[in-house]
Amino acid sequence: MLHAPRTSFRTLFSLLFLIGNGAYAASVSETRPLYSFNQSPLIQIYGLPALGEARVLAHNQSNLALRMQIANNFTGARSNVELLNLDGEMHRLSLEWRQGLGGGMEWGAELPYVSYTGGFLDSTIERFHKATGLPQGGRENVALNQIDFHYARNGVDLVNLDHSASGPGDLRLFAAKQLDVNKIFSDFDAALRISLKLPTGNEKELLGSGSTDLALWLSAARTQGGNAWNPYGGAGVLLMSETKVLPSLQRKYVGFGTLGVSHKFFPQLAFNLQVDGHSPFYEGSSYRQLSAYSAQGLAGASWEISRRQFLEFSVSEDIITNTSPDVVFNFSFSTPF
């Protein structure tokens, strides 16, 4: 169970240092995007992918990544037809494995473990808003650290999670093919990526969507070394079968994209600025939380402990307000395996 945040952190960082403790190898690694996608409880259940690297693993190379995302949600709206409350914290711990197949191809899998809790960030966020003069958005009028993920339409509850819940999420399988773009664009890498999400999570507790989702997208990045500012980005489409979460409002396809820039101020330490966005997952609602375009802004850093072994941290904020969590903290450790 991941209900206790301190226990989650201890478990995560214990695993990090047990998995790898290498010396830094003086070499330039590829440009790496921040691992991120919308962690709204009504969106993360689908197969929306993170961008992924523009360079696939070489033959017989493999990589293991352990990631944790802590998302704090607080938004809501009410009308004569609809009622929406998204108040609570989500912890997503995932294990990802990738294997290079040769011929410029790789494949892999990711299994998340998702927990919904009252969390521990509410009071910190309220104090931060007060100190900076930012609006509380009604936070001061509700109890701290509660769980209330609720959507009703015409008086009928369609989503109603008011208790702690945790369990395995939806399994993701993926593959990638390296594209030969260097003859046209020097110092650039590009990869075509595909992901299949299977309905292995319990949709009644928002651990999965109950749908099978297929995503196809392009990831590209400039890979100049030294002090270069390396842009990266990509875009694609997500196709979904019928969900068991708000099926009457679901859109069957979504477009998504990422733009970012990475800069190495030190040989081992890279800093990133990134924007993720996607089209609406739902239609027929008057609320932007469901039916609006979404964008998240991220700032983060990646430390290369040794060759191809990375420790990463980033923070995400909702650029288009109320379409993604107020704040998401992303932690990641990846190592050759």
Overall average pLDDT of the 14-33 stretch: 53
User: Residue 271: pLDDT above 90?
Assistant: yes
Comparing CA positions, the residue from 99, 24, 12 lying closest to residue 64 is 99
- Mean of pLDDT over the chain: 88
Average pLDDT of span 236-240? 99
pLDDT for the residue numbered 319:
94
As a whole number, mean pLDDT of residues 149-162 equals: 96
Check: CB of residue 169 under 8 Å from CB of residue 208.
yes
Q: Is the pLDDT of residue 105 over 90?
A: yes
Neighbouring-strand partners of residue 335: 64
Using DSSP's 3-state secondary structure scheme, residue 119 falls into coil
* Angular region, 226: left φ>0, alpha ψ -120 to 50, beta rest: left
Q: What's the confidence (pLDDT) of residue 16?
A: 44
Domain range annotation of the chain: 5-73+92-117+161-336
Q: Which residue has the tokens 């002090």?
A: 227
In this predicted structure, the answer to whether residue 226 has a pLDDT above a threshold of 80 is: no
316/37 Cα distance (integer angstroms): 9
In the predicted structure, residue 237 carries a pLDDT above the cut 80: yes
The pTM of the full predicted model, rounded to 2 decimals, is 0.86
State yes or no: pLDDT of 70 exceeds 70.
Answer: yes
Report the alpha-carbon angle 93-66-169, nearest 5. Answer: 35
* Rg of the chain on CA atoms, in Å: 20
Chain position carrying tokens 């003069």: 133
pLDDT in the model for residue 239: 99
Mean pLDDT of the 204-221 span: 98
CA gap 45, 40 in Å, rounded: 9
**Which has more confidence, 81 or 127?**
81
The phi, psi pair for 304, rounded to 5°, reads -85, 100
**Around 27, how many Cα atoms within 13 Å sit in the side-chain half-sphere?**
8
CB 68 within 8 A of CB 331: yes
- Name the nearest CA neighbour of 294 among 329, 325, 273, 330: 325
Q: Note the pLDDT of residue 182.
A: 78
Tens of pLDDT, residues 106-120: 999 999 999 998 877
CA distances from 172 to 15, 184, 199 (A): 22, 33, 9
Over the stretch 282-293, which tens digit does the pLDDT of each residue have? 999 999 999 999
Q: Which CATH code, of 2.40.160.40, 3.40.720.10, 3.40.50.720, 3.90.580.10, is assigned to 5-73+92-117+161-336?
A: 2.40.160.40
What are the C-alpha distances in Å from 146 to residues 72, 164, 286, 320? 11, 9, 25, 24
For the chain, the distance separating the N- and C-terminal CA atoms, rounded to the nearest angstrom, is: 26
pLDDT confidence bin for 24, thresholds 50/70/90: very low
Q: State residue 133's pLDDT score.
A: 59
Q: Quickly state the pLDDT bin for 227 (edges 50, 70, 90).
A: confident
pLDDT in tens, 124-141: 766 665 666 555 566 566
Please, where are the H alpha helices in the chain? 5-19, 122-132, 288-291
pLDDT-based confidence at 17, cuts 50/70/90? very low
- CA-based nearest residue to 119, from 326, 331, 333: 326
> How far apart are alpha carbons 245 and 209 in whole angstroms?
6
